[in-house]
Every structure is written in C-alpha cells, then in structure tokens.
Amino acid sequence: MSERPTRTETDSLGSMEIPSDAYWGIHTARAFENFDISKRPISVYPHLIVALASVKQAAARANAELGSLNPEKAELIDRACQRVIDGEFHDEFCVGVIQGGAGTSTNMNANEVITNIALEMAGREKGDYAFISPYDHTNRSQSTNDVYPTAIKIALARSLTDLLDELELLRQSFAAKGQEFRHVLKVGRTQLQDAVPMTLGQEFHGFATTLGEDHGRLSETIWLLAEINLGATAIGTGITADPRYASVVVRHLNEITGLKLETAPDLVESTSDAGAFMSFSSALKRSAIKLSKICNDLRLLSSGPQAGFGEINLPAKQAGSSIMPGKVNPVIPEVMNQIAFSVVGADTTVTMAAEGGQLQLNAFEPVIAHSLLQSILWMARGCHTLRVNSVDGITANEDRLETMVGTSVGVVTALTPFIGYTAAAALAKTALLTNRNIADLVVEADLMTREEVTKQLSPARLSGLEAITTAIPVIDGDAEHTPVGREATES
C-alpha cells in the first residue's frame, strides 16, 4: 500500500509533513502530539465550531470594511466560514478539548481549516499560505485571547437554548402528571416519616413548579454571556487592530449570530477575568441539583415494588439484574443523578480554573469551555431521556395509596379542630396498634358521624384544595369525648 500523500508545512519550530487532504495544518498537528489526552476532539461541541467560524466571519467582514484586508481574500474567508457554519468540515476541527495554551490550538485549528477551505475555493492547493495565510489574513486583527472566550460565550448561549427547550418540555410533562393525579390521595412525608395527606398531583405539580423556576433562573444567565472582549487582541489593549475594529466587528457578529453581544467597557479586565463563566456554572449546578433531588424522590416513591414505598410505577426500561430474575431498576432517574454529580464536579473545576488565572490572561479557559459545554449537553440529554423514558409513562398505584391514607395516623390531623388534640392523639395510638382505618375509629368513638368524617377526609379538604370556611370551635381537651365540632362541619 502506498503511503498517504503529504504536504510540507513550516512554522517557527521547524517543518512537518501534513496529509495532503487535511484542511488542518502544522499547528493542529503539533497539538495532536502534545495533547493526546481526552480522546475527544472539539468537534464534539458543534456549537463551539459554529461559534468559532462566526467570529472569523465577523472579523473578515470588519477587516474588509475598515480596509485592513484585501476584499477578495476577505470574501473567500467569509464564504469558507459560512460553509463551516452550515455544518461542513466539522470533523476537521480535531484538536483535543483539553489543551494547554489558553485555547491557541483551537484558534489555530480554526484558522487553518478556514484558510484551506478558502484556498480550495480559490483553486489553490491546501497549504498555499502565501496567497491566504492562517495568521496574516484569517486571524487578522485577532488573538486567541479574544477569539476563544468570545466563541465560548456564543457556544454557551446556543447550547443553553437547547437545554432550556428540554427543561421546558420536562416541566410540561411533570405538570401533565400533576393534572392526571390531581384526585389521588397519598400520605405526605417529612424527614421520611408520615406527615399529613396530600395528593399525588400536588407532588408532581411541585416538581413542575421548581423546574419552571429554574428555567427562569437559567434564562437570566444569558446576560452573563453578552459581554465579549473581541477586539482586545492579546491582553486588552487592541494592539494590531484598527481602533475602530472592536465596534465594527461586534456589529457584524450580532448580524451573523442573531445575538445581542456588546463590547466590554474594560477590555483588559474582560480578557483576564473568568467570573462570568463561574456565575454561569453556578446556575447550571443549581438546576442539576434540583433535577437530582426530583429523581431521588421518584426513586423513593417507586421503590419496591413489594417491600418499598410502591406509590408510583416507573416504566420498565431494561432488566435490572444479572442474578435476580424479574428485577427492574430506576435506571433513568439514576442516570440523571449521575449527570448532576458530574455537573457539580464541573462547577468545582470551573471555579478553580477561574481562580488559577494570572495577570492579563486566564490560561485555563479550555477546561472551562469543556466543563460547561459538557454539563449543558449532558443536562439537555438527561432531561430528554427523563421525560421520554420515565416521566411520561409514570402510573400511580391508587389502591395502595388509598390503603395507606386510610390507615395513616396523619389523617387524624385534619380532625383535630373537630375532636380535639387529646382525642386525636388517642385515636392515632389506637390506629398504630391495630392498623385500623381512622375514619372507622372516629365513628365508633361517637366523636363524629360517618357523613361528617367523610366530608372532612375528602381529597379536596385533606389536600388543602378546599378550605374550611367557617370558624372552628375551641375544643376543651379535658372535656368528655362527645360529638363535637358539628357546627363547623356543616359548611
């Protein structure tokens, strides 16, 4: 077999042979040797690749408008960027997500790929950098230090939209279950001990509400991503760029992306500070933790099916054991838990990377980008599988719930305004010892009539959906146990 044809490329460190058909070049090749770590190329985050091409396209247009770049070359670079934005050549963005150099390998991978696409469209050979150069033309008026963080923010904004869409669909799914289970009574729990009754619908509606709140909080973080340092070049002074470049390039970038980006008021500060990424990460962590808590509840409520809570049934998705026949595990909530654990770890990583920046640049933005983009991607996919493979198919064990409510001492709390605390406590003790129905015990003790008990223990009143509207009489706890509270029950 003949060897793969190559071309020779040279940089300040020497020469290397590059595959002739590769759109990347020598800087990308050196990154292969130096950062063979994650085994994950930056192309696993398509939004990042599109963001990089968008920045390069905006730069080409701004440089052409300002007369800093030959119009023919600018047009070729612009068209090459558009092809990347449209989804072509993403597999050529192949440097590892974890890399040293503050993202220089990623920026140069983009410069080389876009340059060689432009050269090919011009009828030139790949690597003909005398005609269009990755450095002098595609990277004109730019530095990794302003291109890379700007691209990260654009990619995060796009990825966040995907997550918000999935989070809203999941909220709707929980809300639908809240409506479906609105009349199903159950025993509420505090500190894992029986409390007072509620409906299963209220429980699921609560899940929907907390997800709605998180949707709002995450939506608010978009402003953290709006301030960019494009035009700062190396450290924020704008060296090598036209003084007008920063304002012109952000205008073009907004037209390309449809976002509302704005130039930071202090480019030196903006180039060195990673606080926005840290705040954004914290919002992701909050959402992940709340999702994990909900999944903990789903696993508890579905535990059993015989020796656990057994209140709801999660859809059976796969066999749960290689040794115990018939066992089915809550695998979908479990995977959401693990995603949350990863997001928490990623948040710590982002925090330490933000702290580790020194002087005029944070060299650790690659791990910040990877941590945040992975967290968003996994959370969006986790929300999708939780909705489609679990929540939408949840059913209630109504017979079991009815039995649990009927024998729960928590029910007697609803009767204390009518029979008094002392009598209620005695009945609760009897119910615990005999496992008998609370309503039956109240009627047998001639404390209330069957009609009165039934009314007060209706799902609407037990769950608080229907309030007692008349005054509740004062009960003398030392009085003889006689039918009391009749007046209040007439409402």
Please identify every residue annotated as catalytic.
Answer: 321
The packing angle between helices 275-301 and 200-220, to 10°, is 170
> Phi, psi at residue 188, to the nearest 5°?
-75, 160
Cα 461 to Cα 191, 434, 449, distances in angstroms: 23, 26, 17
Tell me the residue ranges of DSSP E strands in 378-454.
395-396
d(CA 79, CA 148): 21
Cα 251 to Cα 54, 84, 233, 340, distances in angstroms: 12, 20, 17, 37
Token match 């933790």: residue? Answer: 289
What percent of the chain is helix, strand and coil (3-state, nearest 5)? 60, 10, 35
Token match 């690597």: residue? Answer: 127
Residue 422 is given by DSSP the state H
106 and 42 Cβ atoms separated by less than 8 Å: yes
> Phi, psi at residue 170, to the nearest 5°?
-70, -40
What would the two tokens of residue 35 be?
């950062």
Closest Cα to residue 202, out of 401, 410, 422, 463? Answer: 463
What is the b/e burial string over 116-127, where b = at least 16 CB atoms within 10 angstroms of the residue's CB?
Answer: bbbbeebebebb
Burial class (CB in 10 A: 0-12, 13-18, 19+), 33: exposed
Closest Cα to residue 376, out of 213, 218, 195? Answer: 218
Please name the residues in contact with 299: beta carbons below 8 A apart, sequence gap of 6 or more: 330, 333, 334
DSSP 3-state of 125: coil
Closest Cα to residue 218, out of 291, 311, 131, 280? Answer: 280
Q: Using a CB cutoff of 8 Å and minimum separation of 24, what contacts does 67-73 make? A: 68/140, 68/141, 68/242, 68/245, 69/137, 69/140, 70/137, 73/118, 73/131, 73/132, 73/137
